[in-house]
Amino acid sequence: MPTQGKTIADFPRLPRHVGIIMDGNGRWAKKHRLAIALGHRSGTENLREIIRHTDDLKIGGLSLYAFSTENWRRSPEEVAALMQLILDFFASEIDELDEKHVRITILGDKAALPQRQRDTLLEAERRTGANTGLRLNIAINYGGRAELVRAARLLAEEVKAGTLDPADIDEESMGRLLYTGDQPDVDLMIRTSGEMRLSNFMLWQCAYAEFVFPTVLWPDFSVAEYDKALMEYARRDRRFGGR
């Protein structure tokens, strides 16, 4: 089914990189008197259309917050449901994503994930690593502060090895050691469900991001809602600290 929604020509300008905090699955499940796992499953189902639309609009990058380092604190049943969804998502989507030349990058510490999830994510990155289309970043076991600490450690190791002079550490050298590497900063960050927090997502990459907070719960976030957020972005006047 083709993606419904606006086309590139409808937007005066589009972001190069969109981030999405997919919030509200729990409230959606409660509202519909369903188990929380079904809220998350429903929240995975609309992802396909959102990714397709991002690709159709030739937006270069999309970063999705799927599982934070804090999400381990949820009940074992909910964590297990989210872990299963990770496997299901890649099983059902990887062929189409690869055919569309999408390049997948996982943001976060894969080492702490169960073996099957780790293998699935590594394989998705390997299989799509040479693709030149949409950069799809999926944050799993991710925390923005942990990402910065990791980059600082990597820089310290280079200094220790004698390959880097501390005086040469700058935004460029720090930025390239983040999970996003050489990708552009996030231009637009969307968080659904009406919550207005960054919750430790892409702290560095959001330095100049515009924020849009649609009130719909994530499973109800449609392509039409996405277009509204993109149109709101197009109306914003971005000055990057200048006049």
Residues with active-site annotation: 23, 71
Determine, following the binding rule CB under 6 A, whether residue 25 of this chain makes contact with ligand FPP. Answer: yes
Judged by CB under 6 A, the residue of 85, 164, 203, 216 near ligand FPP is 85
Of the ranges 21-29, 124-132, 147-155, 223-231, which one interacts with ligand FPP (CB under 6 A)?
Answer: 21-29
Q: Which is nearer to ligand FPP, 10 or 95 (CB)?
A: 95
Residue 66 binds ligand FPP (CB under 6 A): yes
Task: Compute the distance between CA of residue 209 and CA of residue 179 in angstroms, rounded to an integer.
Answer: 18
141 binds ligand FPP (CB under 6 A): no
> How far, CA to CA in Å, does 30 sit from each of 33, 129, 145?
5, 39, 31
DSSP-assigned letters across all residues of 117-141: HHHHHHHHHHHHTT--S-EEEEEEE
Among 24, 108, 143, 144, binds ligand FPP (CB under 6 A): 24
Q: Which residues on adjacent β-strands are paired with residue 189?
A: 19, 211
Q: Is 226 in the site for ligand FPP (CB under 6 A)?
A: no
| Nearest alpha-carbon partner for 212 in 5, 66, 26, 20 | 20
Distance CA 52, CA 72 (A): 29
108 binds ligand FPP (CB under 6 A): no
Does 23 engage in binding with ligand FPP (CB under 6 A)? yes
Q: Dihedral, CA atoms, 130, 135, 138, 141, nearest 10 degrees? A: 70
Stretch that binds ligand FPP, among 25-33, 102-110, 121-129, 198-206 (CB under 6 A): 25-33
CA distance 69 to 65: 11
Candidates 51, 62, 86, 202: give the one binding ligand FPP (CB under 6 A). 86
Dist. CA 89–CA 183, nearest whole Å: 24
Q: How many CB atoms lie within 10 A of CB 227?
A: 18
CB of 232 to ligand FPP, least distance (A): 22
Task: Give the one residue of 48, 56, 71, 175 binding ligand FPP; rule: CB under 6 A.
Answer: 71
CB 208 within 8 A of CB 166: no
Q: Is 48 in the site for ligand FPP (CB under 6 A)?
A: no
Tokens of 219: 């499973």
Among 11, 16, 26, 56, binds ligand FPP (CB under 6 A): 26
Residue count of the chain, please give it. Answer: 243
Rule CB under 6 A: say whether 14 interacts with ligand FPP.
no
Closest residue to ligand FPP: CB criterion: 26
**CB distance 98 to 53 below 8 Å:** no
Single out the segment in contact with ligand FPP by CB under 6 A; choices: 43-51, 101-109, 159-167, 197-205: 43-51
* Residues contributing to the site for ligand FPP (CB under 6 A): 22-27, 40, 43-44, 47, 64, 66, 71, 85-86, 89, 138
